[in-house]
Amino acid sequence: MPMLSDPSIKYKPYTPLELKERQWPSKVNRTPPIWLSTDLRDGNQALANPMTIEQKTLFFKTIVKCGYKEIEVAYPAASDTDFGFVRMLIEEKLVPDDVWLQVLTPAREDLIKRTVESVAGCKKAIIHMYNATSCLFREVVFRNSKEETLALAVKHTKIIRQLTEECTAKYGTVFKYEYSPETFTQTEPDFAIEVCEAVKKAWGKAGTGEDRIIFNLPATVEIGPPNHYADLIENFCRKISEREKIIISLHPHNDRGTSIAAAELGILAGADRVEGCLFGNGERTGNVDLVNLALNLYTQGIHPHVDFSDIQAIIEIVTQCNDLPVHPRHPYAGELVFTAFSGSHQDAVKKGFEVQKARHEVARSKGENQYWHMPYLPIDPADLGCDYDAVIRVNSQSGKGGIAYLVKQNLGLDLPRKMQIAFYSVIQTIADREAREMTVDDITTAFRKTYHFGGPNYQGRLVLRSFKISSDPAAELKDEEAQDERRRFDGTVSVDGVFRVIKGEGNGPLSALLDALHTYLDIDLSIREYSEHTLSDGKDAKAASYVEVYTPGENKKTSWWGVGVDPDIAASGLRALLSAVNSAIGDKPLPELKLSVGLNAQSDQADIASVILNTLQLELPRRLQSSFFEVVQRAVRDSPASTKEISYDALTKLFKDTYKYELPAEAMRCSLKSFKMEYLGDGTDSRRQINGELIVDSRSRKITGEGNGPLSAMLAALHSQFDGTLSIREYSEHSIGEGTEVLAASYVELVYTIDEGGKQKKTSAWGVASDADITASGLKAVLCAVCSVEGVKAKTIANGR
Ligand SMILES: CC(=O)SCCNC(=O)CCNC(=O)[C@H](O)C(C)(C)COP(=O)(O)OP(=O)(O)OC[C@H]1O[C@@H](n2cnc3c(N)ncnc32)[C@H](O)[C@@H]1OP(=O)(O)O
Ligand SMILES: CC(C)C(=O)C(=O)O
């Protein structure tokens, strides 16, 4: 049957109450009401499968833990389960002293008896009796008159008075009495008051404070808007006699979806108490949601006297006991209520967090309150034990702000605005294509892939391996300012898996690297934007850098962003630049490392060094590069071959022979057979002593020497074996490999000075060595250099001395 074109022929509107000069609209509530949880009664009776005793017990404990002091636990006359549950709570002493157990009964003597019996021995109990008072119920359900309805309530109130007094006398149980004119909102207002006056009289002992009688005025079915409910409540409060001896309680159902409003307006209208269920379980559309009501107060800065600090744990128990889900949009509790999918919401939330953080810092420094004042988020999820993970979720409706927020939350990166826009279009494309929500994992993975960021799996074609930034010596000739700004980049970059030694110069480290990339890899790019920030506080702080590059002379709109993170700020900038360069080059072929030496040499020192790096994993220091370059040029020039070229193998062999690298001991004029390096004194200074055995010209010599460190101790020892003076002009080292396989590589340039016919003659040579032990590697490099120094003369010694 379709909906009616004129529903007035079927549905009658509610009958408004003509309340003159109503007060509630201009009132503001600043205190929480008395709460009653009826989860275990109204909630339970509405379930397809009422709760088991175990579930009720768990639920009861949860309600107690939340801080509720009045709990309607059962309709004891309904079943043995309900009765037994109440007995169990009492007998097993599960009811805290400050908690009132409430039980419901109809106006029937046998059921009242059973109900009072159920709470015997309990410290504090509220007997709650109800009978419907509305015309519809009088006529249809009870088939009785107004007088009979009133008489039913009066008669059974008296029975309750008598039975509870007997119970108090016998067991000491303290009772309160609650009476509900069920269907109150559909009852003639004056008749509801008349019945309640009669009940009060029949009870006969309503007093003030703890002795107040509770009149619960239910919206058994929500038949009108909340203002109608508020009018009825204000009218009741005005007209009922001895108002000070009465607790006015509300019991709003949610048939029109306005139970929260009804309860809140009812409180403004004078009510003291609210009955409801957690997350709004209950008959049909449910009872008013106690969590919602309490947290509405909380967000007004009013403590509701109940606690939801771990709301997820409460949701879990309640959904498990009720076997009903909490809707994802449920106020304060749904899984989506702290989530923004849409771009403008996300943007506002992101900005809100940033501004609030700054505002809180100022407030903290002044000792002022740090108020929560956030776009779209009326409550801090953290107060309910929730994190901010779900605050922003991304789909095709999302904007750059939200995506940037997630990148910041999960990778710590605060992207510059233009980079946010660039990355947004990456995510938009994926979200549109896949037509689904983008998870945090999707976004961070897309970020890593796009910017070649975050470990070997995402590496681009160019990877920075090592580098040195120094001031450009050419600039030293110019003015001081130029000297300050000009920088030289010397570094090693892996290019499609092949190591390349590259060098460049520029106004700063980034332009020096760009220059190197241009020279060696034919990559022509310029920097448009650069920014950086620290990533974390404390000693583990890292720098994050962002670089935008473009191709000079081409469409200015096309640009590529890159990001780099490193403890060293220069390294983070260089990494960011390479990240952008990787995007810019795409699949473009890059010039390969080709050796061209000799007459028309095209390879320079760096190319030669690249070969050594690839074959021996040695990163030659700049001066050694230049020294070896000369060696190579000379070797090629002197070779009889017509091509004047040199192969990788020949070049590597030349290197090894020249610097005695990895040559067997027998091939060396001077080698270390064994040594022991010890700290001198109590070990508090760095002075060392070496004792060892050296083979010089095939003869073994015992050596000993002291110095400020291992190398100077070695030099001192050598001075006892060789004429002249040995000194170190340059020393450097680096590691080879990773983990347990790591080796140290050492480079030493040794200067040998000897007096020849009254004249000081100086010669020098490089030695290169590697060893698992860094000290041994340095000492071996010194000896390799000794073997290469021209004219070094060993002292004549007695056997082994
Ligand atoms: C608005 C509310 O939520 S009220 C609470 C509702 N909760 C429940 O009903 C859950 C527990 N209920 C039960 O277990 C059962 O209904 C019982 C044990 C109370 C009564 O069961 P039964 O005796 O089989 O009666 P039944 O369930 O059919 O109840 C209807 C009878 O109670 C009468 N009745 C209904 N409400 C009341 C009341 N508040 N006071 C007295 N009698 C009442 C009806 O007029 C009807 O009487 P009739 O049989 O003479 O026509
Ligand atoms: C028993 C009464 C209070 C009730 O549950 C209702 O009217 O909804």
Residue 185 CA: which ligand is closest?
A: 2
Q: In angstroms, rounded to a whole number, what is the distance separating the alpha carbons of residues 501 and 513?
A: 12
Ligand 1 atom nearest residue 183's Cα: 1
Find the 138 Cα to ligand 1 centroid distance in Å. Answer: 14
pLDDT for residue 261: 98
Find the 50 Cα to ligand 2 centroid distance in Å. Answer: 17
Phi, psi of 2 (to 5 degrees): -70, 170
pLDDT for residue 53: 95
Q: Which residue of 129, 130, 150, 253 sits with most ligand 1 atoms within 8 Å of its CB, as the best mutation to test the pocket? A: 130
CB-ligand 1 contact for 146 (6 Å cutoff): no
DSSP H helices, 488-536, are: 509-521
Q: In angstroms, rounded to a whole number, what is the distance separating the alpha carbons of residues 170 and 163?
A: 11
Q: In angstroms, rounded to a whole number, what is the distance separating the alpha carbons of residues 339 and 621?
A: 55
Which residue is closest in CA terms to ligand 1's atom 41?
107
Q: What does the mean pLDDT of the chain come to?
A: 94
Residue 218 CA: which ligand is closest?
A: 2
Q: Which pLDDT tens digit goes with each residue over 385-439?
A: 998 888 888 888 889 988 999 999 999 999 999 999 999 999 999 988 998 899 9
Q: Of the candidates 453, 586, 610, 452, which has an alpha carbon nearest to the alpha carbon of residue 516? A: 610
Ligand 2 atom nearest residue 184's Cα: 7
Q: Which pLDDT tens digit goes with each residue over 653-691?
A: 999 999 999 999 889 999 999 999 999 877 677 799 999
Band (795; pLDDT cuts 50, 70, 90): confident
Supply the DSSP string of 103-117, one letter for each residue.
EEEES-HHHHHHHHH
Q: Which pLDDT tens digit goes with each residue over 587-618?
A: 999 998 877 766 566 778 899 999 999 999 99
What's the CA angle centered on 554, arms 553 and 557, to 5 degrees? Answer: 120
CB-ligand 1 contact for 141 (6 Å cutoff): yes
CA 449 to chain centre: 21
Domains defined for the chain, CATH in brackets: 30-322 (3.20.20.70), 343-451 (no CATH), 457-585 (3.30.160.270), 605-659 (no CATH), 665-788 (3.30.160.270)
Which tokens is 30 given? 């600043």
State the average pLDDT over residues 115-128: 98
Question: Parallel, antiparallel, or unpaired for β 34-37 and 174-182?
Answer: unpaired
Residue 737 CB burial class (10 angstroms; 0-12, 13-18, ≥19)? exposed
Find the 280 Cα to ligand 2 centroid distance in Å. Answer: 14
Share of the chain above pLDDT 70, in %: 96
Band (800; pLDDT cuts 50, 70, 90): very low
Ligand 1 atom nearest residue 182's Cα: 1
Pocket residues: Cβ below 6 A from ligand 2: 42, 104, 130, 180, 182, 216, 218, 220, 251, 253
Q: Return the exposure string of 132-159: e unless at least 16 CB atoms fall within 10 Å of the residue's CB, then b.
A: bbbeebbeeeeeeeeeebbebbbebbeb
Find the 210 Cα to ligand 1 centroid distance in Å. Answer: 30
Q: Which residue of 42, 108, 288 sits with most ligand 2 atoms within 8 Å of its CB, as the best mutation to test the pocket? A: 42
Ligand 1 atom nearest residue 42's Cα: 3
Q: Which pLDDT tens digit goes with each residue over 195-213?
A: 999 999 999 999 999 999 9
What contacts 306, CB < 8 A, 6 or more positions away? Answer: 32, 35, 66, 67, 68, 290, 294
Q: Which pLDDT tens digit goes with each residue over 515-554?
A: 999 999 999 999 999 999 999 766 678 999 999 999 998 7
Ligand 1 atom nearest residue 220's Cα: 1
Ligand 2 atom nearest residue 253's Cα: 8
CB-ligand 1 contact for 275 (6 Å cutoff): no
Greater pLDDT, 455 or 482: 455
CB-ligand 1 contact for 182 (6 Å cutoff): yes
Ligand 1 atom nearest residue 75's Cα: 11
Does the pLDDT value for residue 799 go beyond 80?
Answer: no
pLDDT for residue 638: 84
Q: Of the candidates 183, 188, 255, 194, which has an alpha carbon nearest to the alpha carbon of residue 226? A: 255
Ligand 2 atom nearest residue 41's Cα: 5
Find the 379 Cα to ligand 1 centroid distance in Å. Answer: 42
Find the 106 Cα to ligand 1 centroid distance in Å. Answer: 7
Find the 332 Cα to ligand 1 centroid distance in Å. Answer: 36
Q: In angstroms, rounded to a whole number, what is the distance separating the alpha carbons of residues 142 and 133?
A: 10
Q: Which residue of 105, 108, 156, 217 sits with most ligand 1 atoms within 8 Å of its CB, as the best mutation to test the pocket? A: 108
Share of the chain above pLDDT 90, in %: 85
Q: Of the candidates 701, 633, 682, 659, which has an alpha carbon nearest to the alpha carbon of residue 787? A: 659
CB-ligand 1 contact for 46 (6 Å cutoff): no
pLDDT for residue 425: 94
Find the 139 Cα to ligand 1 centroid distance in Å. Answer: 16
Contact 695, 665 (CB under 8 A): yes
Q: Of the candidates 732, 721, 656, 726, which has an alpha carbon nearest to the alpha carbon of residue 694? A: 721
Ligand 2 atom nearest residue 287's Cα: 8
Ligand 2 atom nearest residue 221's Cα: 8
What count of other Cβ atoms lies within 10 Å of the Cβ of residue 614?
18
Q: Return the exposure string of 364-390: e unless at least 16 CB atoms fall within 10 Å of the residue's CB, then b.
A: eeeeeeeebebbebebebeebebeeee
Could you give the 3-state DSSP secondary structure of residue 532? Answer: strand
Which residue is closest in CA terms to ligand 1's atom 27?
78
**DSSP secondary-structure letter at 794?**
B
Find the 141 Cα to ligand 1 centroid distance in Å. Answer: 10
Find the 619 Cα to ligand 1 centroid distance in Å. Answer: 92
Which residue is closest in CA terms to ligand 1's atom 17?
78
Does the pLDDT value for residue 477 go beyond 60?
Answer: no
Find the 295 Cα to ligand 2 centroid distance in Å. Answer: 24
CB-ligand 1 contact for 321 (6 Å cutoff): no
Q: Which pLDDT tens digit goes with each residue over 700-754?
A: 999 999 999 999 999 999 999 999 999 999 999 999 988 888 999 999 999 999 9
CB-ligand 1 contact for 75 (6 Å cutoff): yes
Ligand 1 atom nearest residue 107's Cα: 40
pLDDT for residue 121: 97
Ligand 2 atom nearest residue 182's Cα: 7
Ligand 1 atom nearest residue 130's Cα: 39
Find the 39 Cα to ligand 2 centroid distance in Å. Answer: 12
Q: Which pLDDT tens digit goes with each residue over 82-107?
A: 999 999 999 999 999 999 999 999 99
Which residue is closest in CA terms to ligand 1's atom 50?
142
Q: Of the candidates 596, 654, 611, which has an alpha carbon nearest to the alpha carbon of residue 501? A: 611
Does the pLDDT value for residue 131 go beyond 80?
Answer: yes
Question: Parallel, antiparallel, or unpaired for β 498-506 and 487-495?
Answer: antiparallel
pTM of the model: 0.73
Which residue is closest in CA terms to ligand 1's atom 22?
78
CB-ligand 1 contact for 45 (6 Å cutoff): yes
Q: Which pLDDT tens digit goes with each residue over 236-276?
A: 999 999 999 999 999 999 999 999 999 999 999 999 999 99
Ligand 2 atom nearest residue 180's Cα: 3
What count of other Cβ atoms lies within 10 Å of the Cβ of residue 186?
20
Which residue is closest in CA terms to ligand 1's atom 3?
42
Q: Which of 167-171, 188-192, 632-636 has the lowest mean pLDDT?
A: 632-636
CB-ligand 1 contact for 179 (6 Å cutoff): no
pLDDT for residue 601: 64
Which residue is closest in CA terms to ligand 2's atom 5?
42
Find the 134 Cα to ligand 1 centroid distance in Å. Answer: 16
Could you give the 3-state DSSP secondary structure of residue 146? Answer: helix
State the average pLDDT over residues 34-38: 98
Q: Which residue of 141, 216, 283 sits with most ligand 1 atoms within 8 Å of its CB, as the best mutation to test the pocket? A: 141
Integer Rg of the chain from CA: 44
